[in-house]
Amino acid sequence: MKYIFTLLFALALISCSDEADVKDDIQTSQEVTTPVFNTKAIGSKVMMQAFYWDVPAGGTWWNTVKGKVPAWKNAGIDAIWLPPATKAQNGPYSMGYDPFDYFDFGSYNQMGSTETRFGSLSEIQSLISTAHTNGISVIADIVINHNSGGASQANPFTGGNTWTDFQPASGLFNRSYYDFHPNDVHSGDSGSFGGYPDLCHDKQYVQDWLYNNSNSIAKYYKNVMGFDGWRFDYVKGFEPWVVKNFKNAAGGFAVGEYWDGNAATLEWWANQAEASAFDFACYYRMRDAFMGNDLTQLNGDMLLKRNSYKAVTFVANHDTDEIYNNKLLAYAYIMTHEGYPCVFYRDYEEWLDKNKMNNLIWIHNNKASGNTTYLYADNDEYVARRNGSPGLVVYINNSNSWQERWVDTNWANTVIKDYTGNSGWEPTTQGDTWVKIQAPPHGYTVWSVK
């Protein structure tokens, strides 16, 4: 996580990447009432991370995202992940990762503003309703490791004063030193982050307000605001059962930010939390492959190879963006492989060729099915096959020239084509299912039945 620390009441507590045109034959494709909508289960298509670090302040972001929703629907997005949506200590300037009042979506004048950085209560309600009308689910970013913005109070567990007196204007989930570490239950917690007051999840009171109560954060977000799923921030800071209990109390999709490149560790956390995890193992293997010019790195261990149903794959996000060379090749990888791909807002809207991104999303949603057979990898070339119906063969070429390769497919005596438009070949597979395909320099092709 990125946090910008500034001095407030003598305590530092403030938060917490020219592509050529695609050829013409490319394939594209606070009382409220929860709106009625009909969305597919999150994970069936592609997720959009609908923000980046330091999006424009001034309360305009919810309306900006709302204006993008119809086009995202047409592109094949099935869920949008929003930043932390409630009032944080840094008020109109906060990205939300320094949470103060979990029930203030921009309707209480506190922390220097009524609106959040992103907008007002009515604007986020309108955004969620518009997403649902377009068949898109909405994922809330949940920050429950730490809090920020409490007043100073004498703390008998530290022998001094701590910033742990939380009296939010919503009147919901007031907190004191008993609800943070250290307290009468624990002397400390390994999940403490950046000096922020660290919530104690073993406290029944904390559990009740997070997910047990009828007006808990989990149930209010789901039943009143209309959120459909959860992205949990900094889950290394608390035990996996917290995510499990939160998700089970309210339902919905859940994914955790367990920032670790070890696929076995990610698998362990996902199993314990009964949730998905961002596939940092895949991210780091792609970084080493595409930044280090060694596509054999893609043979490495990843969560998507261990449990594809729990893997949310990504090329960049608001915290990390290390794959700045050959980034479209990385997107070609996650859009053709198993796992649930997440697209970064700036990659899609600003930095990469949107036509090519839409093409890859279309390929993912229409061709990328079944398990994976890894066919070939060296420093410059990588080939894999998805074995579903119709399935595909992806050929990534990171060399400086066109490459050709014979590959084994699942199709006998069948005409195939490249659905990216990068190759004009339409070869016929042999009776033994083998065929020669090609890929452009620093590019990719994706082959399937014509």
**Catalytic: which of 233, 288, 349, 380?**
233
C-alpha distances in Å from residue 139, one per residue of 125, 128, 220, 230, 290: 13, 10, 14, 5, 30
358 is in an annotated binding site: no
Buried b (16+ CB within 10 A) or exposed e, 344-377: bbbbbbebbebebbbbbbbbbbebbeeebeebeb
Contacts (Cβ under 8 Å, ≥6 apart) of 259: 234, 236, 280
For residue 235, the tally of other CB atoms under 10 A from its CB is 25
| C-alpha span between 426 and 217 (Å, rounded) | 54
Looking at the DSSP bridge assignments, the partners of residue 255 are: 231, 276
DSSP SS3 for 361: helix
Task: Please say whether the beta carbons of 195 and 201 come within 8 A.
Answer: no
**Catalytic: which of 104, 165, 179, 257?**
257
Question: Greatest CA span in the chain, whole angstroms?
Answer: 80
At residue 368's C-alpha, the angle toward residues 23 and 18, to 5°, is 35
| C-alpha span between 90 and 265 (Å, rounded) | 34
257 in active site:
yes
DSSP SS3 for 265: helix
174 is in an annotated binding site: no
274 in active site:
no
Residues making up the annotated binding site for Ca(2+) are 145, 202
Task: List active site positions.
Answer: 233, 257
Residues making up the annotated binding site are 145, 202
